Structure 1
Amino acid sequence: MSGESVYVVGAGMARFGKFPAEVTLEKMAVSASREALVDAGCRVRDIDGVYFGTVLGGSVAGQRTGAQLGLTGQPVTNLENACSSGATAIRDAWLSVKAGLHDVVLAIGAEKMTDRISGGILADASDLDAALGMIMASNHGMSARRYMHDYGATRAQIAAVAVKNHAHSVHNPYAQYQHPVTLEQVLDARPIAEPLGLLDCSPISDGAAAIVIASEAGLARLGVTGRPPRILGVGLVSGTIHDGARSVNEEDISRRGGEEAWRISGVSPTDIDFVEMHDCFTIAEIVRMEGLGLIPRGEGGMWTEQGHTSIGGKLPVNPSGGLLSRGHPVGATGVAQACELTWQLRGTAGARQVEEARTALAYCKGGTVAGTDGASVSTLVMQA
């Protein structure tokens, strides 16, 4: 794709978790943004525009955050796209720099969920599943059952995703959970949607993340030396009409999201060294990796069990701990993934570092729309 080269020059996060009411969305977003600005060697007045992703934060969350940050007057775009909100903010920020509209921009994702949501999250009200009172976990429970039936996968192989991601997050200071879990703990956890239990599900979370991206001219303005990680492309696709002929686990929307990523970025699936995957549930990591074509269909459970998707394996998935363990404040997730890609590609991820990481993918899937295979899938490709 032609246009300006776009670089990530700063990354920052506020630790994900469950916080009291006085820890507001704006406070978390300001904290993450300041960290990203310091990391970039960037002053507030260097920022040409702001792109803010949130689901529950309100229509002017970006302006409220900007005012507390001391960043006023610049154009602010607020974006809501379900779990892809933060990733969509990055996409619009990337496009603005690539088109030459801006040279230095701030992309923020933030969410305060704990005072808004309790229990399971329903599908869209128009969905038959929601009409029947089914929570999102129900869909993934059916997915797991079907996957086990179709491919002979075991319950333990699906549970191994949670074990792996918790093991990774032990080394992530921004993660909501920083402790390991055993396979027995996952299998024995309180049932949520058979066969999935509590530890197969991502938590309700608060948190924020931010990145500073820049053009070549922006690098010069900030005095950045060397070449920071580059955004090769950000794909975005929506669901297509589901005719009922496809299996629940076919993940055609993931296939199309992957094809969009490869088309825009110019890389292929074999170039990817690690993935930050939208593992809202354990089974989701497996079927979405297969949908992208990064793991052969039906082998995702086996790959996890055999350590292929662990740090040090052939294709590490979620070195940050993923949604299951790093947490899932929905609007912040896509930007948090971009932060992890940045740190990994810089080689500064510490004990969770993926060795020789050069090219990486972050995937978000957001929302449901009745009669389709999903609302949105975003695919971010970055390269050192």
Structure 2
Amino acid sequence: MASEPIYLLGGHQSDFCRNVYRDGGTIADLFIDTVRDGLTSTQLNAGDIDVGHVGNFVSALFTGQGHLGGFFGHVDPAMANMPASSHEAACASGSMAMMAAMANLESGRYGIACVLGVEVMRNIDGAQAADNLRPAAWRDKEWQDTPYVWPCAFDGMIELYQQRHGLNKQHLNAISQQNFANAKLNPNAQSRQWQFNDHSFTDNDQHNPRIIGNIRRQDCGQITDGAAVVFLATESRARDYAKARGISLDSIPKIKGWGHINAPMLFSEKLKASQPGGLLLPHVQQLFQQTLARAKLANLDSIDGLEVHDCFNITQYMVIDHTGLYPPGEAWKAIENGDTIAGGQLPINMSGGLIGAGHPVGATGIRMALDCYKQVTDSAGGYQIDGARNMMTFNLGGSTTTCASLIIGR
């Protein structure tokens, strides 16, 4: 039986350039301020919200604070007894909070949900931060001989592409260069004021230092403090919202499709499903197909842009490879043909993505959804895709262990 559609009323994103603890704040302050700003931007009252969901990965390790759903009660007295829960799935935590909120609304239990993603990660040194992020892999079995688990893991993905299909590092550099360029147009991007030179996207050890193996500084998504919030509504509550504001229901975006796949934790186990010369991670393509099918779309021709999980540039390359735009191993054609830039066939990460805009882990899936909302409501400002009607997210946790996707459109 078809469920009532879920509408996205809007939301708010914090400035990802901000260092919360250096500014004298805490994760609680970031949580409370972001929800309050989201209520203001959507012209919702705290009493309108029936349920809250929080996406977060490692607050207890980075800040010593867990049980984050309790902070809704400090946003406004009207939220003091509101039901709330938190969700963890590594870098896909925000998307899991979105999925849980959607299910709540589809069940008929609630009418409007507040979904917040939040992470503070810049309050400790890099070595401790890297160790805190280790549990997104199988801690006792994978990448145990390195202090830098994720650069090591995705360096391995580069090696696999080189072995199976051949890979020109210049194509990866082009992804990073484009995402940093897009971020300069995003007023909330962490790197919007960063400066680069002719050597920044090369194998120059001074201007683009090596982290490990093939991974260099500009290949990486950014450790970031940040939060993003969206408000989801059932059709009946969205209709009331529209009527009260004198707008049409059709002007409010809705979630047209969704996908959620979990693969085995071990990366070596995931690879058992791949075929030599074929797709590296077939479950990633399965997620695209699943999401499009739920939106009743035949292929990506109806999608105007993607917000994808570029924790490293090779991750974005891998995602492109699994979209079906080109045969397996030929994602480089999308880069050389300009398919993924503004005005191209399928613009990707116009926000700057994780590389340019920043990656507060628990907030990323929700930030992606909010940027898709901005695109389809023509409110993305300098990074607007002309005429965007349908946008798609791709959010992953771990080594593609948890994969989630949304199609948001009007």
Counterpart selection for 2:231 from 196, 212, 224: 212
In structure 1, how many angstroms separate the alpha carbons of the residues matched to 2:233 and 2:69?
19
Higher mean C-alpha deviation, range 97-106 or range 215-224: 215-224
Amino acid at match of 1:184: H
Whether 1:257 aligns to 2:259 is: no
The answer (yes or no) to whether the contact 1:163–1:183 under 8 Å persists in 2 is no
The alpha-carbon distance between structure 1 residues 8 and 324, as it changes in their structure 2 partners (threshold 3 A), is: same
Q: Give per-residue Cα distances to partners, 1:8-51, cap 9 Å, x unaligned.
A: 11210111135142322222222222222122221000000001
SS in 2 for 1:17: coil
Normalising by structure 2, we get a TM-score of 0.86
Matched, 1:72 2:72: no
Partner of 1:16: 16
Paired AA for residue 237 in structure 1: I
Give the stretch that moved more between structures: 357-366 or 67-76: 67-76
CA distance in 2: counterparts of 1:204 and 1:32, whole angstroms: 19
CA distance in 2, matches of 1:325, 1:159: 13
1:204 maps to a residue whose letter is I
Structure 1 counterpart of 2:67: 60
Deviation at 1:258, TM superposition (A): 1.5
SS of the aligned residue for 1:213 comes to strand
Between 243-252 and 198-207, the greater mean CA deviation after superposition: 243-252
Listed as ranges, the gaps of 5+ residues in structure 1 are 369-373
Describe the superposition over 1:60-88 as per-residue Cα deviations: whole angstroms up to 9, x where unpaired.
21212442344211110111111111111
Same amino acid, percent of matched pairs: 25
Tell me which of 18, 27, 30 is aligned to 2:29: 27
From 52, 77, 98, the equivalent of 1:50 is 52
CA distance in 2, matches of 1:265, 1:80: 26
2:199 counterpart SS class: helix
Task: Provide closer, same or farther for how the CA distance between residues 131 and 184 of structure 1 changes in structure 2, counting only shifts above 3 A.
Answer: closer
Residue 323 of structure 2: which of 277, 282, 292 is its match? 292
1:242 corresponds to 2:263: no
Superposition CA RMSD, Å? 2.2
Match of 1:102 in 2: 110
2:149 is the alignment partner of 1:135 = yes
> What residue in structure 2 maps to residue 6 of structure 1?
6
Shift of 1:329: 0.6
Note the 1:332-351 alignment, pairs <5 A.
332-351=363-382
Deviations, residues 178-208 of structure 1 (Å, cap 9, x unaligned): 0464563022200012222001011211000
Aligned partners of 2:149 and 2:230: how far apart in 1?
Answer: 32
Kept after mapping to 1: 8 A contact 2:273/2:282: no
> Following TM superposition, by how much is the alpha carbon of 1:336 offset from its aligned partner in structure 2, in angstroms?
0.5
Is the partner of 1:113 in helix, strand or coil?
coil
| Matched AA of 2:396 | K
Distance 1:9 1:156 in 2: 40
Q: CA deviation at 1:264?
A: 2.2
Cα 1:111–1:132, aligned 2, differ >3 Å: closer, same or farther? Answer: closer
> Aligned partners of 1:204, 1:367: CA distance in 2, in Å?
15
Cα distance between partner residues in 1 of 2:317 and 2:92: 19
Q: Distance in 1 between matches of 2:74 and 2:273?
A: 51
Provide the residue aligned with 2:43 in structure 1. Answer: 41
- The 3-state SS of whatever aligns with 1:130 is coil
Deviation at 1:382, TM superposition (A): 0.8
CA-CA distance at 1:139 after TM superposition: 1.8
Moved more, 236-245 or 27-36: 236-245
Does 1:270 pair with 2:301?
Answer: yes
**Which amino acid is the alignment partner of residue 11 of structure 2?**
A
CA contact (8 A) 1:62 1:78 kept: yes
Deviations 1:310-344 (A, max 9, x none): 11111100010000010001000001001100000
Q: Aligned partners of 1:245 and 1:103: how far apart in 2?
A: 40
2: CA distance, partners of 1:335 / 1:124: 25
Worse-superposed segment, 235-244 or 170-179: 235-244
Give distance in 1, aligned partners of 2:225 and 2:332. Answer: 30
Change (3 A) 1:68 1:293: same
In the alignment, what sits opposite 2:398?
367
Query: Given the two structures, how large is their TM-score scaled by the length of structure 1?
Result: 0.92
Give the distance between the partners of 1:300 and 1:3, measured in 2 at CA. 36
2:160 alignment partner in structure 1: 146
Counterpart secondary structure, 2:33: helix
Which residue of the partner structure matches residue 358 of structure 1?
A: 389
SS, match of residue 161 in structure 1: helix
Size of the aligned set, in residue pairs, is 379
CA distance in 1, matches of 2:19, 2:71: 20
Is this contact kept in 1: 2:143–2:149, CA < 8 A?
A: yes
After the TM superposition, which of the residue ranges 326-335 and 4-13 deviates more from structure 2? 4-13
The one-letter amino acid of 1:92's match is A
For the residue of structure 1 that corresponds to 2:274, the secondary structure is coil
347 and 60 in structure 1: CA distance in 2 versus 1, 3 angstrom threshold: same
- Aligned in 2, Cα 1:295/1:175: closer, same or farther, shift over 3 Å? farther
Q: Within 2, Cα distance between the matches of 1:56 and 1:65?
A: 19
Give the Cα separation in 1 of the matches to 2:374 and 2:381.
9
Residue 187 of structure 2 corresponds to: 173
Q: Kindly tell me: are residues 52 and 251 of structure 1, through their superposed partners in 2, closer, same or farther at Cα, counting changes over 3 Å?
A: same
Query: Alpha-carbon deviation of 1:163?
Result: 0.5
Q: Summarize the Cα distance change of 1:132–1:194 in structure 2 as closer, same or farther, 3 Å threshold.
A: closer
- Give, in angstroms, the shift of residue 117 of structure 1: 5.9
Partner of 2:342: 311
